[in-house]
Structure 1
Amino acid sequence: MARPHHHAYVWLGPGDVLVRPGDAHRRPGHPEFRSAQVMPLECADWLLKPASRIEATFYEARVGAEWYAGRIAQYRCVFVGSYAVGPSYDETVRALSAGEDRVGGWWVTGGRFLSLNLISCGPHRVRLEYACPLS
């Protein structure tokens, strides 16, 4: 069994792709799923995408939480609306230390949607059958 870790994924794209009918390409059973550039419907399904989609891999919760907070800070200038930006750094460390995923999504300028994801791997706590994309 692989040492527990988290893979980081980012998707920034047109929001209408997420809200229109016909989301089959976002489900693992669809022939275009692996090549579809849009985020999957279920967060754990990121692990079924090609390994080239992984932005980074973290074995330490604090380092993963720093990446997550850094990406939120990087994109904060394009967020729209007035709502909480995301979980605190300490809450992210707690979640990652417990083997949980950390997932966030925000509407940003231009009708786009930003999805930031730290997905548990080695194994995933819900999808035990999913192999690590790097193995």
Structure 2
Amino acid sequence: MHHHGYVWTGPKQRYDDEALRRPPPPHPPPDGSRPDLVLRHREVKAEFPTVDLPPLETAYWLIKPEKLVRGTWEEPKEAADWLGERLGEYATLVVDFLETPRDIEAGVKARTARGTVREGRADVQDSPWRAGPSLQHRRQ
């Protein structure tokens, strides 16, 4: 097994564009639909596979371009250490969005991620808009 690392930074307004963070519906809107819906479907269909926004589901990273992968590791400790370093690196950029800098304690999040990944229990993703890492549990 191996682990990939991704990083996205940008304005929260862009992050909140959920249509670009999920795959488009498999079929376009039916004939006679509002022109804005048809246009939006085309936009999402064209952009989702290549846009660097973090997808709503971790597994969707795997259909993104390889150039978005910031690192690949065989060992979960190495991946979790990288995540902890990124959290520390970007913490100062997001403090304005948080109630207190303690909301983004890179060491705690890295330890949580390391244990989760090491045990193969879940994929880990994190954002300053979350209280803690999101664990995408794997089905056994």
Identity %: 31
**Which has the higher Rg, Structure 1 or Structure 2?**
2
Higher share of residues assigned helix: 2
Contact conserved, 2:52 with 2:68, CA < 8 A, in 1? no
Higher share of residues assigned strand: 1
CA apart distance, 1:69: 0.8
1:93 counterpart (106, 111, 114): 114
Q: Which runs of 5+ in 2 are unaligned?
A: 25-43
CA apart distance, 1:89: 3.5
Decide whether aligned partners of structure 1 residues 24 and 91 sit closer, same or farther in structure 2, where only a CA change above 3 A counts: closer
Structure with higher RCO (Cα < 8 A, 6+ apart): 1
Decide whether aligned partners of structure 1 residues 16 and 95 sit closer, same or farther in structure 2, where only a CA change above 3 A counts: same
1-side partners of 2:52 and 2:111: how far apart? 31
Question: TM-score w.r.t. structure 1 length?
Answer: 0.67
Contact conserved, 1:5 with 1:57, CA < 8 A, in 2? yes
| 1:1-135 matched pairs, under 5 angstroms | 4-19=1-16, 23-29=18-24, 30-31=44-45, 32-80=47-95, 81=98, 82=100, 83-86=102-105, 87-99=108-120, 100-106=122-128, 125=138
